[in-house]
Amino acid sequence: MCGLAGILNKNGKRISGKDITCMADIMNDRYDGRGGGFAAYGIYPKYKDQYALHIFLDNHEARERTEEYLKGVVDIVKEDGVPTAKITEIPKAHETWRYFVDVPEKTDKQDDYIVKVVMTINNEIQGAYVASSGRNMGVFKATGLPCDVARLFKIDKYKAYCWTSHGRFPTNTRGWWGGAHPFNLLDWCVIHNGEISSYGTNKRYLETYGYKCNLQTDTEVVAYLFDLLVRKHGLSMETASTALTPPFWKHIDAMPEKERKLYTHIRMTYAPAMLNGPFGIIVTNQDTMIGLNDRIKLRPLVAAKDGDYSFIASEEAAIRSISKEPEKVWAPKAGSPVIARLEDGLLRGG
């Protein structure tokens, strides 16, 4: 029942958060108020070279412990509170603070360093949770409807070239700020509708590479899997998508020899990374937006193109709320990614 929406402008033109909020509002029947959120890319041009850490803090003590830790491991260029509005629909359960940071100069693998910082805060500092940790981007989420989360974080005041939104209807996990979508690590953001029934296998696989999954929802494994397969293992976005939603064996067996060997290798090598269950997801990073369904397409997903803009959403109505007559609208095939990139626009239609 969750509702997903994404917009990407291929030229990097930044647009207000009003459009993504409008797309989210159209799908209100999909939400129950236990989680809403937005991801935005390009919102911090002045600090585009720093990692922007958005951190939920339960209390002043949690903030003190977090800042003491950060001052020992990174250089804080700027820190301030994420601007919020007082609204009755979402009581202020957490203080949301942001830190623009650099890693120590002699650090070779800066992204790995920040991942370690994020995992340490989330697992060792009680009352602190890192909502986002990428460069020139941020995640804004809370327990509430997307329209109220947008008002809380003043989403209309931000401008981004890529936006995603999510409204939750959780079925097997509780609603809390950290459990709202998007889920983020570095530049990766994931929003999800459905259930990852392979969560246990995926979690154990990720933990062998040092990732720690403790955010009380199945979606976090998808963000970590893309980080592992693309950033650390060097797979293309297309190949990583194939590893997560590979063809059935009966289809692989019917392929020409060269393709059969390739897909067999992918399935066997990344078997623990394969996602099972009914799902529709949107995955984004600094230059790409991907829409991906499970291999039977048990959750809805619609894609569209209109000039310089690419759209992905759970419902066509959400897309048409801001693009009345798109050039092309279609439902991507089961297990086949639809991919939009900066400069190139929509590359593959699923």
Which residues are annotated as catalytic? 2
Q: For residues 35 and 166, is the Cβ–Cβ distance under 8 A?
A: yes
Q: Facing residues of 40 across strands?
A: 138, 163
Residue with tokens 């041009």: 45
Q: What is the rounded distance in angstroms from the CA atom of residue 257 to the CA atom of residue 130?
A: 46
Which whole-number Å values give the CA distances from 265 to 206, 246, 248, in the listed order?
Answer: 19, 11, 13
Q: Based on the number of CB atoms within 10 Å of its own CB, is 68 exposed (0-12), middle (13-18) or buried (19 or more)?
A: exposed
Type of residue at 174 = R
**Concatenated DSSP letters of 6-74:** EEEETT---EETHHHHHHHHHTGGG--SS-EEEEEES--GGGTTSEEEEEEESSHHHHHHHHHHHHHHS
310: β partners: 8, 305
**272 touches 205 (CB < 8 A):** yes
Longest dimension (CA), the chain: 62
In whole angstroms, what is the distance from residue 309 CA to residue 167 CA?
22
Nearest Cα residue to 229 out of 219, 215, 244? 244
For 125, phi then psi, to 5°, come to: -110, 105
Q: How many residues does the chain have?
A: 350
- Please enumerate in sequence order all residues whose Cβ is within 8 A of that of 147, keeping only pairs 6 or more positions apart, or say none: 21, 24, 25, 28, 36
